[in-house]
Amino acid sequence: MTIKRVLLGLCAVILVQVSPVMAQGLYPLSAQPDGQSWPDANWDNGNLPTSATGEVSALVDDIMERELDDVMGETRAIVIIHKGKLVLERYRTGFGPDTRQLSWSMAKSLTSALVGRALAQGLISDIDAAMPGPWAADDPRSAISWRQWLNMTDGLEYHEIGEPDLAKNDVVQMMFGKGRYDAITYAGALPLAHEPGTHWNYSTAGFHLIARAVQGFVAQNVGAELPASEAMASYVEDSLFAPLGMDARIEFDPAGTFMGGSLVWASARDFARFGYLFLHDGMWGETRLLPEGWVDFSRTKTPADNASVYGAGWWINAADANDIRPAGHGSALGPRDAFSAQGHEGQVIWVVPSRDLVIVRLGLMSNGGENWPALYDWSQKLAMAFPEYRADTPH
């Protein structure tokens, strides 16, 4: 029996109250424009708004002309979706619409979506339940909930952003050092430093653990006849990539764990499809892929007091940002409703409901210096060039 057939036999959609405060203060998500078809094999083409053409073109020309040693580095792909249509697309020589590029930490947003898919299909019953992990039942880490992992308030002693010493940087050691053959064994050895749910700390290890937990449910429920990695790859394809029309691939470590914090390969157009799913509240056509409220949960601030720029697998544009990332923001005041997937070396998916907009930028740049603040400014200026509209009025 194929994984797709098993999934069809599960509960199609479970409507859950994901968060008791998920919709407070959030800009309404976009409705599909009247008469606009959902993307099939290709996006419908459209034109930039007349009022935005000059500024958008100038911003895109500027970033595409920059070289690797320049601020913001080398841009390899830009895709802009406005009101459901592809209005701008640019590629560096050697890259094109079908070129898969590496997500790096944008994978966290996809892994969060996979939790939503598993919840909708009944594989996961409650995100406030303890998430399975590599610990004994009496270990306090085994009580950390799905919600806490997704909000990055798991409380583990883990060092990534802001740790310059490669020997002490856990993501370096987990991905390329002693943990490179088995990320879960490395992550599972991290001790608790804070009460779960009270302290935000950016963690790739946490999302590898989330991916492994989803993979465990898949292996038990819908792919028992396959090796765990094959079952997971088939599940992701059937549950998320195929419905969206994405030609994407996920990557596993040598122990067979999906590296859900870091490693998804997809084209810029395909990353735009994923952003479009979140712009439209987890709907794709007439099908609800994510539970009602999941996108609002994803773009609602983590409950921890020490950060205001992160939701659940997505970065948010908090007006009172007290971001702990070094030089994490630039100076441009962009749309406060924007939320984004962000990855190492300048990978970004910006979702802007107030502009009915998805922006994808893929490239290569240093993570240091003024690169991230400049890319943040560029993205905000690009979004602000598009006219605002009210989500409760027809397009």
> Domains in the chain, please, with CATH?
3-18+28-384 (3.40.710.10)
Cα–Cα distance, 63 to 61 (Å, whole number): 6
- Does the pLDDT at position 223 exceed 80? no
pLDDT digits 0-9 by tens, 39-52: 988 899 999 999 99
What pLDDT is attached to residue 41? 86
What average pLDDT does range 21-41 have in this prediction? 78
Percentage of the chain beyond pLDDT 90 is: 79
What average pLDDT does range 304-311 have in this prediction? 92
- Does the pLDDT at position 203 exceed 60? yes
Cα–Cα distance, 246 to 129 (Å, whole number): 31
Mean of pLDDT over the chain = 89
Q: List the beta bridge partners of residue 347.
A: 343
* Greater model confidence, 361 or 225: 361
What average pLDDT does range 313-330 have in this prediction? 59
Q: Where are the alpha helices (DSSP H) in the chain?
A: 3-9, 53-65, 107-120, 146-150, 170-176, 183-188, 204-221, 228-236, 242-244, 268-279, 294-298, 371-384
What pLDDT is attached to residue 5? 41
What pLDDT is attached to residue 390? 63
pTM for the whole structure = 0.91
Q: Which residue bears the tokens 């409220």?
A: 293
- Does the pLDDT at position 17 exceed 80? no
- Does the pLDDT at position 327 exceed 60? no
Q: Which secondary-structure segment (H or E) carries 286?
A: none
Interhelix angle 204-221/107-120, rounded to 10 degrees, is 30
pLDDT digits 0-9 by tens, 232-264: 999 999 999 999 999 999 999 999 999 999 999
- Does the pLDDT at position 209 exceed 60? yes
What pLDDT is attached to residue 3? 47
Cα–Cα distance, 316 to 334 (Å, whole number): 11
- Does the pLDDT at position 329 exceed 50? no
Three-state DSSP at 26 gives coil
What average pLDDT does range 86-90 have in this prediction? 98
Contact 4, 10 (CB under 8 A): no
What backbone phi and psi angles, to 5 degrees, belong to 214? -60, -45
- Does the pLDDT at position 372 exceed 90? yes
CB burial readout 315-328, b (16+ within 10 A) else e = bbbbeeeeeebeeb
What pLDDT is attached to residue 16? 39
* CA contacts within 13 A on the Cβ side of 81: 32
What pLDDT is attached to residue 336? 86
